[in-house]
């Protein structure tokens, strides 16, 4: 059996000239681009320390010295205009820079940060704000425009700054808890130990924590610190790696991916999955470690040991000249995660999950899976909870739209229908319809599954579509389970609907349980339905007129009573040549009522020859 790879490199990588012909390779995190410095392509003004385009590739920034950054405009109205900017702080050295907008840039120096606006038409920069602080190293998250500065001697006090539309905000600083090491040794935090990424819409600082081999638990772990826009940063999750060595981190589809260098395998963590046998927010890998699905490069092959990892989901092989996006393959996870409830929790949070979820449901019903109906119920409940949340969001949006925007409130965005929303038509079309026709499965189990799905929908107050009821009725009639149909109708397990009544008529035409079905329909005030049913099975010649007239009177619907009364007049005329009721039918009170409401002239006249 071939290894089931649940991680793969994208099929169409970005290709660039391999680094053997260049002096340096730089990754531009804001634009997800690789920039290479060629001596013969740029004026030789000195070694390039860093080179990045602004967002949208409008302005190129090049750092050659510790004191200044050069700028080249690629804006059509100001092509190739150049300027240079020195850092303002005396005796400071520029560690690097980050673009936060198409014309806004931050210099990070060993003495603090300087926030500038680039003015291409004036060939100059305007200082917007600066902050003095001793800096060891920095890290930038372009998705959130947040910069982390490492301060203090050990480097483990991090000072975040957020940037938005020309403003710089200082966020509360926080301390990374370093592992205990034997004295007199000291441990410093470096940028290799830290990654910053967005997971489930929240910004996290991920710390790769290596424990001393002298401790009881020498295995490494990833500690997550949540960094809110407002309020202090707090330690929230611990990911247990259960091994030691060199690691690298990615985030793909809200999963933390940890690459282990020596074994060349990767493991994934989902911080929303709870481990029943672990402390709160302590996580084990969701799946066993696997290598990334091999990517074949023509002629040369690929050496994964030379890869560089960038956030959130990028892997670069500079020597081969490739940039890939890391992806999660969901189908292999189905066989690796045996717990169907946990598997469903995992799949429901992934991007391209719909067809995989439906295939899991089909597999679960069609064969061999242990657990039976309780497992089926768990899966249905999880699916319908997500379905219900989407319907409620849609309803809230509709109500808000119809009532118009309230003063001072922002316009609501229509809820996005994610692939995790599995509605009734999805389940009917892809799973239940074909499942109900399986000949090698017990009809009792099929009916139980259908009723379990209906129960699950009712539990979250989702209106059940008639085609699901029709499947149940079809199964009950096929196997002569009329007593069960009677019970379902009597106790409102199958609810009223016109399509449902018609389906009952269709499938009970040849049954011997006609009286039972009629009684149930009349008890639920489905008088016309009961009448149509009895006509369809050819039994209307000898049915009790009084039973139907009683039921029609109880509805308090005068036109319904008129219709039923007229029907039996026509029947009497056809059978006996006289529309009147015989004394033995005990319909006298209904005749009096009919006359009071509609008048004597409304009675059907006897036809004379």
Sign of the dihedral defined by the CA atoms of residues 211, 217, 219, 225, in that order: negative
CA distance 39 to 399: 62
In this structure, what token pair is assigned to residue 488?
Answer: 């379902």
Residue 442 has φ and ψ, to the nearest 5°, of: -55, 130
What is the structure's pLDDT at 461?
93
Q: What is the pLDDT of residue 538?
A: 66
The token pair at 411 is 């316009």
Task: Provide the angle, in degrees to the nearest 10, between the axes of the packed helices 443-459 and 466-478.
Answer: 160
Global confidence as pTM: 0.77
- What is the pLDDT at residue 509? 37
Helix (H) or strand (E) holding 108: strand 104-109
**CB-based contact 270:264 (threshold 8 Å):** no
pLDDT for the residue numbered 305: 63
The helix/strand/coil state of 559 is: helix
pLDDT classification of 514: cutoffs 50, 70, 90: low
Q: Which one is predicted more confidently, 261 or 407? A: 261
Name the residue among 98, 105, 176 with its Cα closest to residue 142. 98
Phi/psi at 177 (nearest 5 deg)?
Answer: -80, 110
> ∠444-446-447 over CA atoms, to 5°?
65
Do the beta carbons of residue 107 and residue 97 sit within 8 Å? yes
Least confident of 136-145, 405-414, 588-597: 405-414
Give the percent of the chain with pLDDT over 70.
83
Distance CA 69, CA 66 (A): 9
Q: What is the pLDDT of residues 275-293, one digit of tens each?
A: 766 666 899 999 999 999 8
DSSP 526: -
- For the chain, the C-alpha Rg in angstroms (whole number) is 36
Dihedral class, residue 91 (left if φ above 0, else alpha if ψ from -120 to 50, else beta): left
477: pLDDT strictly greater than 50: yes
Please determine, for residue 405, whether its predicted confidence score (pLDDT) is greater than 70: no
User: Sorting pLDDT into bands at 50, 70 and 90, what band is 37?
Assistant: very low
pLDDT at residue 407 is higher than 70: no
150 three-class SS: strand
pLDDT at 17: 65
Average pLDDT across the chain, whole number: 84
Q: How confident is the model at residue 132 (pLDDT cuts 50, 70, 90)?
A: very high
What is the per-residue pLDDT for 532?
76
**pLDDT number for residue 316:** 85
pLDDT tens digits for 522-568? Answer: 877 878 878 877 776 666 667 888 999 999 999 999 999 999 999 99
- Position 156 confidence tier, pLDDT thresholds 50, 70, 90: very high
- Model confidence pLDDT, tens digit, residues 371-387: 689 999 999 999 999 99
Binning pLDDT at 50, 70 and 90, where does residue 511 land? very low
Instruction: Count Cβ neighbours within 10 Å for each residue of 538-553 and write b for 16 or more, e otherwise.
Output: eebeebebbebbbbbb
Mind giving me the DSSP string for 274-336? PPTTS-TTEE--SS--BPPBP-PPTTT---GGG-EEETTTEEEETTTTEEEEEEE-SHHHHHH
Instruction: Write the DSSP symbol of residue 349.
Output: T
User: Is 496 or 390 the better-scoring residue by pLDDT?
Assistant: 390
Owner of token pair 């808000």: 400
Above 50 in pLDDT, residue 21? Answer: no
- Token pair, residue 515, equals 């009286």
Burial class (CB in 10 A: 0-12, 13-18, 19+), 494: buried
Orientation angle between helical segments 514-523 and 482-490, nearest 10 degrees: 10
What are the pLDDT digits (tens) for 419-464? 899 999 999 999 999 998 888 888 899 999 999 999 999 999 999 8
Q: What is the mean pLDDT of residues 578-601?
A: 91
The set of residues, in sequence order, having a beta carbon less than 8 Å from that of 341 and lying 6+ positions away, is: 375, 378, 379, 382
Per-residue confidence (pLDDT) for residue 158, from 0 to 100: 96
């Amino acid at each position: 059996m071939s290894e089931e790879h649940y991680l793969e490199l994208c099929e169409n990588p970005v290709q660039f000239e391999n680094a053997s012909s260049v002096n340096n390779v730089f990754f531009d995190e804001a634009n997800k681009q690789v920039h290479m410095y060629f001596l013969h392509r740029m004026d030789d003004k000195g070694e390039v320390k860093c080179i990045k385009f602004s967002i949208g590739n409008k302005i190129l920034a090049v750092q050659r010295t510790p004191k200044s950054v050069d700028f080249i405009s690629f804006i059509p109205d100001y092509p190739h205009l150049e300027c240079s900017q020195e850092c303002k702080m005396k005796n400071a050295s520029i560690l690097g820079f980050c673009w936060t907008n198409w014309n806004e840039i931050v210099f990070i120096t060993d003495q603090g940060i300087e926030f500038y606006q680039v003015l291409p038409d004036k060939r100059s920069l305007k200082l917007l704000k600066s902050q003095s602080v001793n800096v060891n190293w920095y890290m930038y998250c372009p998705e959130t425009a947040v910069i982390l500065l490492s301060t203090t001697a050990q480097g483990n006090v991090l000072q975040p700054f957020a940037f938005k539309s020309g403003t710089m905000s200082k966020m509360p600083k926080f301390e990374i808890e370093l592992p205990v090491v034997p004295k007199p040794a000291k441990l410093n935090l470096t940028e290799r130990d830290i990654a910053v990424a967005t997971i489930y819409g929240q910004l996290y600082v991920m710390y790769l924590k290596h424990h001393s081999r002298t401790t009881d638990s020498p295995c490494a772990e990833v500690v997550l610190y949540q960094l809110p826009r407002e309020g202090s940063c707090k330690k929230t999750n611990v990911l247990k790696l259960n091994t030691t060595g060199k690691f690298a981190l990615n985030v793909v589809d809200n999963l933390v991916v940890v690459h282990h260098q020596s074994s060349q395998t990767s493991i994934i963590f989902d911080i929303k999955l709870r481990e029943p046998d672990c402390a709160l927010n302590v996580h084990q890998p969701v799946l066993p470690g696997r290598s990334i699905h091999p990517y074949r490069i023509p002629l040369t092959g690929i050496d994964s040991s030379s890869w560089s990892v960038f956030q959130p989901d990028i892997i670069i092989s500079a020597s081969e000249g490739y940039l890939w996006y890391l992806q999660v393959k969901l189908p292999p996870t189905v066989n690796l995660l045996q717990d169907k409830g946990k598997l469903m929790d995992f799949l429901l949070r992934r991007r391209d999950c719909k067809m995989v979820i439906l295939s899991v449901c089909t597999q679960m019903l069609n064969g061999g899976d242990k657990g039976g109906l309780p497992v089926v119920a768990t899966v249905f409940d999880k699916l319908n909870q997500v379905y219900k949340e989407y319907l409620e969001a849609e309803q809230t949006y509709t109500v808000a739209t119809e009532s118009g925007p309230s003063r001072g409130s922002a316009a609501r965005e229509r809820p996005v229908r994610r692939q995790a929303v599995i509605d009734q038509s999805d389940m009917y079309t892809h799973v239940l319809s074909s499942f109900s026709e399986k000949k090698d499965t017990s009809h009792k189990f099929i009916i139980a599954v259908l009723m379990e799905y209906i129960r699950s929908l009712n539990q979250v107050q989702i209106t059940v579509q008639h085609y699901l009821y029709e499947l149940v009725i079809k199964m009950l009639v096929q196997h002569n389970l009329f007593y069960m149909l009677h019970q379902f109708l009597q106790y409102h397990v199958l609810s009223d609907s016109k399509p449902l009544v018609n389906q009952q008529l269709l499938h009970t035409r040849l049954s011997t349980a006609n009286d039972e079905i009629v009684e149930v329909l009349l008890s639920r005030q489905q008088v016309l339905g009961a009448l149509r049913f009895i006509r369809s099975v050819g039994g209307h010649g000898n049915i009790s007129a009084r039973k139907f007239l009683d039921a029609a009177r109880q509805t308090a619907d005068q036109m319904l009573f008129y219709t039923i009364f007229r029907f039996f007049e026509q029947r009497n005329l056809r059978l006996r040549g006289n529309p009147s009721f015989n004394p033995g039918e005990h319909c006298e009170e209904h005749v009096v009522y009919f006359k009071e409401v509609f008048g004597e002239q409304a009675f059907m006249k006897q036809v004379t020859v």
